[in-house]
Amino acid sequence: MTLYIFLGRYDLSAKNSADDITRFFVVGDWGGLPFLPYETPSENAVAKAMGKLGTELNTSFQLALGDNFYFDGVRSANDPRFEHTFEHVFSATSLQTPWYVLAGNHDHLGNVSAQIQYGKTSKRWIFPDYFYTFSLWQSDKQKKLIDFIMIDTVILCGGTNLSDWEHAPLEGPEKPHVAEIYWQWIEEQLQQSTAPYLIVSGHYPIYSVAEHGPTQCLVDRLRPLLHQYKATTYLCGHDHNLQHLVDDMNETHLNYFVVGAANFISNNHDHAKDVPPNSSKFFWAGSIVFGGFGLIEVNNVQMNFSFIDRSEKTLYQTTMIPRF
């Protein structure tokens, strides 16, 4: 496995819109079905809402937070699932913009390297490796606005088979020496970030009140690093609902967003007592045919995060400010 650091090739410039705000979507656990019709009502509803809202808001790109293909990933870069579950569903003109992709546990049950390979022929599927970075630059291209760090939490924490990730705690990484190399890489990227906003994205949650709950490996290893280097937020999926949690540590404040409601919906609070007291600020799990996703709107003054449902209704919104 090769370590890649992509800090230039896939960089973006902020759109010079009338209000000087760049907007992009966050969507997780959207991966359809492995049999006809290869999609779910929620996935279709989310895709339609994103497409319509993307046109209205002139969105720039998407973050895709894993579990891209239920239930066992893909087998090759030519797997028809790319067409059936992705291209055919997220077909709106406004969504023909970059999709920055990472892998979830269901993707690891298949061939993640095939998803990476698909990015070499797709015009919008950006997935250069299991771990990578990119940046959003301000419209004058003189200063970064956001640094993004995309990570593979399965490689870091385990979960390469069904029995592992369905039952907490995870048993640990399959290759501990590889995980340690990536932990070092993550800290290096955090330390090097100079952007006013720093977004780290993975599949497993650090904190969640729902079915899978907190990921102890990430609580122990990633959470302290995010606070130490003053990350703006950690984005994830895995639990099939929408959540906002906050956490304070060493006089730093961190926002966690679980965005896993684009395909299946689960109204579960099994781990409500396993997160820090008063940390859960929002939870949503609509009916089985109602999907949800995230929208980030950002300029050099503030970053707004909104949860949106399939009717394009804003369910919840919160604001974050630059790190410095």
**Is residue 106 a known part of a binding site?**
no
Residue 106 scores a pLDDT above 50: yes
Q: Exposure pattern of 270-301 as b/e (b: 16+ CB <10 Å)?
A: ebeeebeeeebeebbbbeeebbbbbbbbbbee
Quickly tell me which residue has 């299946």 as its tokens.
Answer: 264
pTM of the predicted protein model: 0.94
**Is residue 244 a known part of a binding site?**
no
Distances in whole angstroms, Cα of residue 81 to Cα of each of 44, 100, 158, 267? 15, 18, 25, 28
Quickly tell me which residue has 């100079």 as its tokens.
Answer: 194
- pLDDT confidence tier of residue 6, bands split at 50, 70 and 90: very low
Closest CA to 119 of 136, 104, 133, 102: 102
Q: CA dihedral defined by 235, 241, 244, 247, rounded to 10 degrees?
A: -70
pLDDT for the residue numbered 217: 95
pLDDT tens digits, one per residue of 22-49: 999 999 999 999 999 999 999 999 999 9
Q: What is the mean pLDDT of residues 247-259?
A: 94
DSSP symbol at 250: T
Of 18-27, 185-194, 237-246, 310-319, the least confident: 18-27
Residue 112 scores a pLDDT above 80: yes
Q: What is the mean pLDDT of residues 222-228?
A: 98
pLDDT for the residue numbered 205: 98
Using an 8 Å Cβ cutoff, are 127 and 113 in contact? no
**Is residue 70 a known part of a binding site?**
yes
First to last CA, the chain: 35
Rg, the chain, Cα only: 18
Q: What is the mean pLDDT of residues 173-199?
A: 97
Say whether 113 sits in a helix, a strand or coil. Answer: helix
**Is residue 84 a known part of a binding site?**
no
Q: Which is it for the CA torsion 305, 55, 65, 22, positive or negative?
A: negative
* Cβ contacts of 192 within 8 Å, gap of 6 or more: none
Of 155-164, 182-191, 214-223, the least confident: 155-164
Instruction: Quote the CA–CA distance of 188 and 225 in Å, as a whole number.
Output: 10
pLDDT for the residue numbered 162: 63
Instruction: Quote the CA–CA distance of 42 and 264 in Å, as a whole number.
Output: 7
Of 20 and 178, more confident: 178
Phi and psi at residue 181, to the nearest 5°: -60, -40
**Is residue 271 a known part of a binding site?**
no
pLDDT for the residue numbered 15: 58
Q: What percent of the chain has pLDDT over 90?
A: 85
Quickly tell me which residue has 């956490």 as its tokens.
Answer: 247
| Domains within the chain, CATH numbers bracketed | 12-320 (3.60.21.10)
Helices within the chain (DSSP H only): 41-57, 81, 105-108, 112-118, 153-157, 162-165, 176-192, 216-228
What is the residue-wise DSSP string for 68-100? Answer: -STTT--SSTT-THIIIIIITTS--GGG-S-EE
- pLDDT confidence tier of residue 1, bands split at 50, 70 and 90: very low
Residue 294 scores a pLDDT above 90: yes
Closest CA to 245 of 269, 220, 264: 269
The pairing of beta strand 242-249 with beta strand 280-284: antiparallel
**Is residue 239 a known part of a binding site?**
no
pLDDT for the residue numbered 160: 76
pLDDT tens digits, one per residue of 121-174: 999 999 999 999 999 998 776 799 999 999 999 999 998 776 565 555 687 899
E-only strand ranges, 196-291: 197-201, 233-236, 242-249, 252-259, 280-284
* Cβ contacts of 164 within 8 Å, gap of 6 or more: 158, 170, 171
Using an 8 Å Cβ cutoff, are 154 and 103 in contact? yes
pLDDT for the residue numbered 127: 98
Question: How much is the mean pLDDT over the chain?
Answer: 92
pLDDT tens digits, one per residue of 57-97: 999 999 999 999 999 999 999 999 999 999 999 999 999 99
Q: 184 is written with which tokens? A: 């070092």
